[in-house]
Structure 1
């Protein structure tokens, strides 16, 4: 594809997506009165729609371009970017700069829409600053701007693969703040809708941006490896985008709201997405076809326009199904009293953690199957530990325990301890990195998944977090910083912050357990005696934390629990003290497990060293006897 044609295709796609946005906004009518807001005027309404579309398109180009540079374009041995990867990284850096500019412009526009004032009036400092502090979306746009700035700084000079990955992570983080404050984060079912949109937005952005980067690459001729990797990426992105979009659309529209303008735009976006998926399938079979590529790009741009247009409309569920206080805070109601039957049978799948667990278990079992087909041995105990660890994660996030945990501090502490201590110990004993390095094939001149994992394992950032002092401080300090400040009360008011808290529990617990008893080798191997000392040094901090909670006379997160006002919760302070007892008692169990696991590893390591020494000694004796035999033969 020639450069002029490539630019024409990109411009056509952008114009098509923007035209859809403007058409929907022009025919939407008054979208402010149903929410009790004032109309900020046509300039602000249309201007914000255009800026939102520009930001979404630039974000997709940035994130997808970096994904293409890091994982689609062939790299070089030694961690340097190839010419194709460097070109994609520079394209992503340009998109990141545009994303930054659009996000900065979106801050006053979003503040104007939230305040119901023209954007020119909101630009006055005496109006802008109070509006910014009182509304959430302008703050989210500021977070996006910061992430875009960091991405630009990383991607523009990037010459190494790790830098491109770091830029992609920064861009991926920048995609999420708007999800946290958008329509999906409000009303009944917002927990489900927000979780799936955390998958939807990165997948859709990676698909669109990687396709543009691929078209730019195809100007220099086809490449079988690039096409094969892109097809895998696009297939995964299509499945994730389609499923997550369907779930979020159903939550926001509900069956009785599908026959509406919102439902029509949702249907158009769904049809566009399915058509793009058909283009991917057809292109994959034919291995060629410029028209299919162009059609896929135009369809994805229309889908981006449809998403921006949906953000300007009022979801029917807001009007037809007003949320209660509990649904506003949690996404669902908790009026039913807590019983053992509801804890065991009242499942509400957490669509953030459950897919992670499913992917982790599936990948592990696939790697295990590859090893067994080769005839290699893998300890069954590691398999059991890995499966049990993820089973704990799923149970405490998706079962009735996970549903009722936000209602009382004691149940929350059960989930905290499970995610921070019980599950991580089992997961690190599963040895997932070692399994991946053994199961994945080693590439020649073109690095693949095995080389990517090895590179990240020895990256400076990994070495920093794997430092025993850092791992121990994060593991123990998180308890005190979270619960003995206002962080816990603020985090529980927002679903995204609650999920981030769970991820933090799991990540810091895994990091500490990996350094101490992990089956995978760390970047900073420690003697067994030092690991044992780390365990004994950390134990008192958990005990003190539980004791402090049990003796505390003031209620933690009192505003949050009084908002919920659960009729069955009982004495909140007594429940908090129960949570302290749970933290004190249950914290010792995984510590004991880690001590036992460490002692077993220590013993096995000594046995291996002894056998190695014996083999070395036998070899020396055999060599000595052979020398004597040779000398005797010469004398004869």
Structure 2
């Protein structure tokens, strides 16, 4: 289901029969998944409760309660409903843009699975859910994409097989990296030490690692051998030989994964006999007392952002390298600023700030201010959209690659609305109040999915606001420079007022969370919240000053460029504009003199 939809979005052309065939594969797969999820939910209920299957009232009432009230039952119900919705949409939707949303919904069907099983254990709860979610999502793309290529093979004639295989191969390389990284994190969390590799769980992990390494080797062979053979005209034998071998090892890895899900892990997954308040609330032990050094030495790695940051740096540098190879120049300061922004993003999402923000409001606010102001201030001058549009190759077969999707997004009505300077400023300042004084704050603090949403939200709103002020990437409309300064000062006034409201507050936000951690070190929760208000007020001033300076410099350079343009035009035309202006003044003066 997921592999077919990803290929529809990124590899296949709607002008060719391959497009509709792949959607048929996605629809059929989603239908199978719907039935399989429903049956699995039913059998899980029987397994968990020990109630034999029947059609009487007791069984049906128990099953109804299981799928509506128990998290495991809710997970399988959610998976079934999402798969059913995708089945219908794959038949009903043929628009490429709309299919991107169908693909996102299909990926969402994996979320309930990621939140169950061994990932629900106490130790490393958030990291385990993240690793498992990434693992099954990218494994689905990898395996599903290959199966889809096999199933639509008969429609890939006339030279279509090579470009589709190349595009799938690129997706497969990304999937291999993510699956390997997430698999390592999952294994490390559940095995703990090397001696645990001798346990049944550890042996299964070793078998899966071996299968994954073999798949990596086949991926390299696919890029270097298969595509070359296909270009040379040797199609059938080369294609089926490699596909059969790769599917065999994928089958081994998938079977081992199923066995791992049913095998007890060497690391205990339950809370101790006397859990602390922090462990009950967060599932993690309370960290040691916060010091300045703690922000440097403490780490709580978020795999989503580690992988995201790594890919952001890699693809940016790859784009710069491609420009350099064809003789084009890319300003070095843009590259430096981009990398600095990504490094700062990596630290905030995985470093000491991420360790303490669950327990201290001040650390949470520090993360917020850096994500929404400091990181975008570094990323926006990097001009990633401009770099992407200059380096990614344009497609001519009707399919949509990264360049086509970026162009569509940049020129969409949604982008035009969101990048409007007034809208960006309202989102930037207004979401601050809406976030902290609505249930969104509780969701983002107590739920890992909410936490990830919070980071994305802060980054996007901050990026849009900074882009509207000093951005280089193309947008439909920009304010004149004087109004940019007015907009900046007005927006920052809202920020400062928010910080002051926290400093002077006498009520604790999320008192049953920040006030119930059982901390014996540091400030009281209310004092810590007031410190967070001071951070919101003071740290916000630094980027404001920097932004104001950059806007002023850009304004000055814009005036200088306009002056040079006028001077060159005057030299080229013999000051025709100035002479015409002087003649017009002379005629007006003569007319005034004659009228007297």
- TM-score with structure 1 length normalisation? 0.78
Other structure's SS at 1:407 match: coil
Q: In the alignment, does 2:20 pair up with 1:86?
A: yes
**Structure 2 portions without partners, runs of 5+:** 227-237, 578-596
- Give the structure 2 partner of residue 10 of structure 1: none
Q: Is 2:443–2:451's contact at 8 Å kept on the other side of the alignment? A: no
Q: Is 2:27–2:91's contact at 8 Å kept on the other side of the alignment? A: yes
CA gap 1:63/1:417 in 2 versus in 1, 3 angstroms: same
Task: Give the whole-Å Cα distance in 2 for the aligned partners of 1:552 and 1:147.
Answer: 43
Task: Give the whole-Å Cα distance in 1 for the aligned partners of 2:59 and 2:128.
Answer: 35
Q: In the alignment, does 2:293 pair up with 1:370?
A: no
Task: Give the whole-Å Cα distance in 2 for the aligned partners of 1:300 and 1:85.
Answer: 25
In the TM superposition, residue 571 of structure 1 has moved relative to its aligned partner by: 0.8
Q: In the alignment, does 2:354 pair up with 1:397?
A: no
> 1:47-87: CA deviations, max 9, x gaps?
xxxxxxxxxxxxxxx211111122233x3xxxx55432332
Q: In the alignment, does 2:138 pair up with 1:199?
A: no
Alignment: residue pair count: 558
- Give the structure 2 partner of residue 594 of structure 1: 547
Matches within 5 A, 1:352-391: 352-391=304-343
Other structure's SS at 2:296 match: helix
Task: Give the whole-Å Cα distance in 2 for the aligned partners of 1:171 and 1:548.
Answer: 43
CA gap 1:486/1:224 in 2 versus in 1, 3 angstroms: closer
Q: In the alignment, does 2:239 pair up with 1:304?
A: no
Task: Give the whole-Å Cα distance in 1 for the aligned partners of 2:85 and 2:474.
Answer: 31
In the TM superposition, residue 134 of structure 1 has moved relative to its aligned partner by: 4.7
**In the alignment, which of 217, 220, 224 is matched to residue 152 of structure 2?**
217
Q: Which moved more, 1:507-516 or 1:202-211?
A: 507-516
CA gap 1:520/1:149 in 2 versus in 1, 3 angstroms: farther
- Give the structure 1 partner of residue 110 of structure 2: 175
Q: Is 1:189–1:327's contact at 8 Å kept on the other side of the alignment? A: no
Q: Is 1:203–1:241's contact at 8 Å kept on the other side of the alignment? A: yes
Task: Give the whole-Å Cα distance in 1 for the aligned partners of 2:483 and 2:53.
Answer: 60
**In the alignment, which of 212, 217, 242 is matched to residue 273 of structure 1?**
212
Q: Is 2:123–2:269's contact at 8 Å kept on the other side of the alignment? A: no
CA gap 1:241/1:258 in 2 versus in 1, 3 angstroms: same
In the TM superposition, residue 410 of structure 1 has moved relative to its aligned partner by: 0.7
**In the alignment, which of 295, 298, 311 is matched to residue 245 of structure 2?**
295
Q: Is 1:350–1:397's contact at 8 Å kept on the other side of the alignment? A: yes
**In the alignment, which of 243, 249, 259 is matched to residue 187 of structure 2?**
249
Q: In the alignment, does 2:419 pair up with 1:480?
A: no
- Give the structure 2 partner of residue 14 of structure 1: none
Task: Give the whole-Å Cα distance in 1 for the aligned partners of 2:162 and 2:518.
Answer: 60
Q: In the alignment, does 2:376 pair up with 1:433?
A: no
- Give the structure 1 partner of residue 4 of structure 2: 65
In the TM superposition, residue 621 of structure 1 has moved relative to its aligned partner by: 4.3
Task: Give the whole-Å Cα distance in 2 for the aligned partners of 1:609 and 1:427.
Answer: 27
> 1:124-176: CA deviations, max 9, x gaps?
78656665565333444455456445544554344443233332233223323
> 1:450-503: CA deviations, max 9, x gaps?
333222322344334334454334322332233223332343233332233222
Matches within 5 A, 1:398-417: 398-417=350-369
Q: Is 1:81–1:161's contact at 8 Å kept on the other side of the alignment? A: no
> 1:254-293: CA deviations, max 9, x gaps?
3354333433443443333333334434444442141331
Q: Is 2:51–2:59's contact at 8 Å kept on the other side of the alignment? A: no
- Give the structure 2 partner of residue 605 of structure 1: 558
Q: Is 2:132–2:186's contact at 8 Å kept on the other side of the alignment? A: yes
- Give the structure 2 partner of residue 538 of structure 1: 491
Q: Is 1:419–1:505's contact at 8 Å kept on the other side of the alignment? A: yes
CA gap 1:338/1:366 in 2 versus in 1, 3 angstroms: same
CA gap 1:135/1:249 in 2 versus in 1, 3 angstroms: same
Task: Give the whole-Å Cα distance in 1 for the aligned partners of 2:517 and 2:436.
Answer: 19
* RMSD between aligned residues: 3.3
In the TM superposition, residue 414 of structure 1 has moved relative to its aligned partner by: 0.5
Matches within 5 A, 1:438-517: 438-445=390-397, 448-468=401-421, 470-517=423-470
> 1:341-388: CA deviations, max 9, x gaps?
222222343322122122212222222233233333333332232122
Q: Is 1:175–1:201's contact at 8 Å kept on the other side of the alignment? A: yes
CA gap 1:516/1:138 in 2 versus in 1, 3 angstroms: farther
Task: Give the whole-Å Cα distance in 2 for the aligned partners of 1:111 and 1:609.
Answer: 73
In the TM superposition, residue 409 of structure 1 has moved relative to its aligned partner by: 0.7
Q: Is 1:191–1:330's contact at 8 Å kept on the other side of the alignment? A: no
> 1:523-576: CA deviations, max 9, x gaps?
444444554444344223222221222232222222223553222144111111
Task: Give the whole-Å Cα distance in 2 for the aligned partners of 1:561 and 1:538.
Answer: 29
Task: Give the whole-Å Cα distance in 2 for the aligned partners of 1:523 and 1:81.
Answer: 31
Task: Give the whole-Å Cα distance in 1 for the aligned partners of 2:290 and 2:327.
Answer: 50
Q: Is 2:444–2:451's contact at 8 Å kept on the other side of the alignment? A: yes
Q: Is 2:191–2:266's contact at 8 Å kept on the other side of the alignment? A: yes
Task: Give the whole-Å Cα distance in 1 for the aligned partners of 2:252 and 2:120.
Answer: 24
Task: Give the whole-Å Cα distance in 1 for the aligned partners of 2:515 and 2:321.
Answer: 51
Task: Give the whole-Å Cα distance in 2 for the aligned partners of 1:614 and 1:527.
Answer: 22
Q: Is 1:388–1:426's contact at 8 Å kept on the other side of the alignment? A: yes
> 1:567-595: CA deviations, max 9, x gaps?
21441111111111111222232233333
Q: Is 2:121–2:269's contact at 8 Å kept on the other side of the alignment? A: no
Q: In the alignment, does 2:571 pair up with 1:571?
A: no
- Give the structure 2 partner of residue 234 of structure 1: 172
In the TM superposition, residue 181 of structure 1 has moved relative to its aligned partner by: 4.0
- Give the structure 2 partner of residue 53 of structure 1: none
Q: Which moved more, 1:523-532 or 1:547-556?
A: 523-532
- Give the structure 1 partner of residue 584 of structure 2: none
Task: Give the whole-Å Cα distance in 1 for the aligned partners of 2:452 and 2:249.
Answer: 33
Task: Give the whole-Å Cα distance in 2 for the aligned partners of 1:394 and 1:302.
Answer: 34
Matches within 5 A, 1:125-164: 127=62, 131=66, 134-145=69-80, 147-148=82-83, 151-152=86-87, 154-164=89-99
Q: Is 2:394–2:403's contact at 8 Å kept on the other side of the alignment? A: yes
